[in-house]
């Protein structure tokens, strides 16, 4: 190991004997009472010196070699130091543009490899995005930028002017099938494991018409594929629920809860599916916001975290854009198995 003060954290000396690494409450570390020997070891944590070299440095400065071990152990356990051998832009062939993403991952999981292993695991994942209008296209591009090795797009509708958005379809692609439009943009990375025809690790449902996702969601539930719904309804963007088949609330659970409160909901839902607004609203900033939330939830879930859209929906509404979460429980009359798992 070649210890390196975390390059994603700001390091400042408060005074001659006190150093602060990081600035946000969950990451900031303040170390006081440092003498010349400890300061020399800290300044030598540049990713080039090995631990034995740091011990020799402490000894040469007139101190105990174990000072180096104690400092490195403390910094590593706090997520304030990483192994410099991993934290390079071209480490093991990872793209240079992924450096900021890996830096964030390293801060989240406090790994000594600076997020290298997590980003590499993302490269082995396959995510399918069904529906590639203004929102779905942005989600697909964000997932690919976030390291997902195989992002597939299922939507053969033609790109029209209303689909064009920053981070989505470019204006030059109007008239192309949506899937083909994104296929020419999304990066293709070598992916280890099963072929692209195999079942995806995750599916994002980004319908461009009301209720067109219902049948697909049912098939994904039966196939045991985790999936997330993201769409805009009028001036509200909705992310969720993220469905973990057999253990969390599914889309039908939500409809059953709504029916419990409004007996006419099934009729309304059926008629919504048959009728679309003449000009469906989808504000650019709102679409981008919910696409970013959705992509973040997918990546966090695949990284192993329990995200807020499991048993919940996140709503972002214009004009203020403040995200609000609503909790949902698996419905006892749904056959998805979520209610049994919750007991």
* Span 11-44, pLDDT tens digits: 999 999 999 999 998 889 999 999 999 999 999 9
Tell me, what's the pLDDT at 191?
Answer: 54
Q: Is 50 exceeded by the pLDDT of residue 171?
A: yes
Q: How confident is the model at residue 342 (pLDDT cuts 50, 70, 90)?
A: low
Instruction: Give me the percent of the chain exceeding a pLDDT of 90.
Output: 76
Average predicted confidence (pLDDT) for the chain: 91
Residue 41: count other Cβ atoms within 10 Å of its Cβ.
Answer: 24
- Mean pLDDT throughout 314-324? 95
**Which of these CATH numbers, 1.20.1730.10, 3.40.50.720, 3.50.50.100, 3.90.930.60, describes 3-97?**
3.90.930.60
**Every domain of the chain and the residues it spans:** 3-97, 123-342
Tell me, what's the pLDDT at 276?
Answer: 78
Q: Is 60 exceeded by the pLDDT of residue 341?
A: yes
Q: 324 has which bridge partners?
A: 315
Cα gap 106→109, rounded to integer Å: 5
Tell me, what's the pLDDT at 254?
Answer: 95
- Give per-residue pLDDT as tens, 73-101: 999 999 999 998 877 545 566 778 888 99
Q: How confident is the model at residue 187 (pLDDT cuts 50, 70, 90)?
A: confident
Q: Is 70 exceeded by the pLDDT of residue 228?
A: yes
Tell me, what's the pLDDT at 190?
Answer: 57
- Mean pLDDT throughout 262-270? 90
Q: Is 50 exceeded by the pLDDT of residue 288?
A: yes
Q: Is 60 exceeded by the pLDDT of residue 215?
A: yes
Tell me, what's the pLDDT at 277?
Answer: 82
Tell me, what's the pLDDT at 99?
Answer: 86
- Mean pLDDT throughout 277-302? 94
Tell me, what's the pLDDT at 198?
Answer: 76
Minimum mean pLDDT range among 138-147, 167-176, 222-231, 334-343: 334-343
Q: How confident is the model at residue 195 (pLDDT cuts 50, 70, 90)?
A: very low
CATH of domain 123-342: 3.40.50.720
Tell me, what's the pLDDT at 214?
Answer: 83
Tell me, what's the pLDDT at 194?
Answer: 46
Q: How confident is the model at residue 325 (pLDDT cuts 50, 70, 90)?
A: very high
Tell me, what's the pLDDT at 272?
Answer: 81
Q: How confident is the model at residue 230 (pLDDT cuts 50, 70, 90)?
A: very high
């Amino acid at each position: 190991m070649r210890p390196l003060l975390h390059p994603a954290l700001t390091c400042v000396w408060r005074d001659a004997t006190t150093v602060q690494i990081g600035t946000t409450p969950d990451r900031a570390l303040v170390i006081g009472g440092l003498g010349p020997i400890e300061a020399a070891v800290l300044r030598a944590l540049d990713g080039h010196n090995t631990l034995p070299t740091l011990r020799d440095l402490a000894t040469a400065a007139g101190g105990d070699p174990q000072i180096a071990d104690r400092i490195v152990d403390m910094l590593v356990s706090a997520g304030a130091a990483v192994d410099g051998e991993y934290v390079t832009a071209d480490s093991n062939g990872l793209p240079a543009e992924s450096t900021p993403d890996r830096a964030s991952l390293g801060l989240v999981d406090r790994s000594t490899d600076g997020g290298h292993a997590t980003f590499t695991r993302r490269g082995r994942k396959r995510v399918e995005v069904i529906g590639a209008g203004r929102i779905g296209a942005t989600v697909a591009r964000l997932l690919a930028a976030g390291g997902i090795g195989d992002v597939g797009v299922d939507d053969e509708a033609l790109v029209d002017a209303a689909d064009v958005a920053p981070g989505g379809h470019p204006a030059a692609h109007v008239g192309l099938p949506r899937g083909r439009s994104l296929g020419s943009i999304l990066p293709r990375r070598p992916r280890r494991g099963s072929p692209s025809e195999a079942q995806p690790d995750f599916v994002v449902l980004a319908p461009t018409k009301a209720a067109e996702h219902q049948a697909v969601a049912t098939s994904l539930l039966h196939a045991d594929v985790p999936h997330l719904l993201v769409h805009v309804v009028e001036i509200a963007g909705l992310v969720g629920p993220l469905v973990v088949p057999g253990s969390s609330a599914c889309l039908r659970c939500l409809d059953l809860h709504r029916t419990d409160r409004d007996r006419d909901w099934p009729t309304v839902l059926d008629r919504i599916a048959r009728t679309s607004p003449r000009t469906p609203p989808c504000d650019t900033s709102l679409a981008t916001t919910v696409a970013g939330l959705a992509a973040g939830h997918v990546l966090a879930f695949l990284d192993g975290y329990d995200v807020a859209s499991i048993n919940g929906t996140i709503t972002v509404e214009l004009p203020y854009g403040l995200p609000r979460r609503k909790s949902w429980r698996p419905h006892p009359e749904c056959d998805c198995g979520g209610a049994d798992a919750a007991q």
